[in-house]
Amino acid sequence: MSRVLSVAAESFPIAGTFTISRGSKTEADVITCTIAESGRLGRGECVPYKRYGETMESVRAAIELARRAIEAGASRADLLELMPAGAARNAVDCALWDLEAKTSGIPAAAKLGPAEPRSLETAYTLSLAEPEAMAAQARANAARPLLKVKIGGDNDIARIRAVTQAAPNSRIILDANEGWTEANVAGNLALAAELGIALIEQPLPAGADEILARIPHPVPICADESVHVAADLDALRDRYDAINIKLDKAGGLTAALELRDRARALGFQLMVGCMVGTSLAMAPAVLLAQDAEFVDLDGPLLLARDRQPGLAYEGSVVAPPSPELWG
């Protein structure tokens, strides 16, 4: 029986407003790919990201360009040649993983390793705002063990102090989303070390981060926008201590596994992160993140409405996906 590919655009409301240094949004706009074969359905979700030149329309068009090959039976390995890294390939790749699991009866987790997947502690993200508002967010979530704090503006020192004072028992990741400069990065790093920050994510713009090779790292620094696929890693070895793997950047779980293994070989710590999407997008990432030092898969916690069934969250702990959801 031949395959049938379907592609849908969907929107899920965010609980409130999600703000980073590049702007704000109130909805998570996603593309869902479904591949039907032999009475089984495989699904994958991606989040087009403007920072990388993606739109809902361009991602959908990229999937349509590969439709004939996908419906003719293209494998996940074939996709690595058919489609470039990015959100479009992620949706198709994850749909194929899900389809393989549904068709074979072998869960995706079993293909990734012998150990049963475990529940993981995820970071919870606080949106960028003025220091007082960020302190209020931190206070409301001070019982969570790991907070990811969006910064990247002129008042970051006040923000960092406000958040650490409001959530004194939480480990904190600072995510500048490329918002710092060569003039303030050393001072901000020093303050972060003084306040016990656990990790700093992408302080400087990708391609303008050479100074990170010349200044001390009193807090580990994690590449996000600077790293998409395994081929990016060699150039980052003297600048970053960790990398953030996102399926939408890598272009699917298949490429993300290659990125993970190469990063480990080079000595990087790992974070597995996400765009703001639903449980369908997080599910394969939960399996990828089983041995990561940092997990940031809180997308569904930021939504006013998730898919059903979705991932099971208990506080900041997320359980592996059920077969009904994915894999």
Q: Which residue numbers are catalytic? A: 150, 246
Do the beta carbons of residue 298 and residue 279 sit within 8 Å? no
Tokens of 291: 């041995």
CA 226/CA 210 separation, integer angstroms: 11
Distances (CA, A) of 155 to 174, 195, 295: 14, 16, 27
User: Coil, helix or strand for 101?
Assistant: helix
165 CB neighbour count, 10 Å cutoff: 13
Report the alpha-carbon distance of residue 280 to residue 13 in Å, rounded. 15
User: Which burial class, exposed, middle or buried, applies to 300 when counting CB atoms under 10 A from its CB (0-12, 13-18, 19+)?
Assistant: buried
Report residue 146: phi and psi, to 5°: -140, 120
Over its C-alpha atoms, the chain yields an Rg (Å, rounded) of: 19
Q: Alpha helix (H) ranges present in the chain?
A: 56-65, 67-71, 76-82, 87-104, 108-112, 131-140, 156-166, 185-194, 247-250, 253-266, 279-288
**What are the CA-CA distances from residue 31 to residues 89, 92, 119, 298, 300 (Å)?**
11, 10, 26, 19, 16
Q: What is the Cα–Cα distance from 126 to 100, expressed in whole angstroms?
A: 36
Cα–Cα distance measured from residue 106 to residue 90, given in angstroms and rounded to the nearest whole number: 21
Report in angstroms the alpha-carbon separations of 233 from 66, 174, 193, 267, 275. Answer: 28, 22, 25, 11, 21
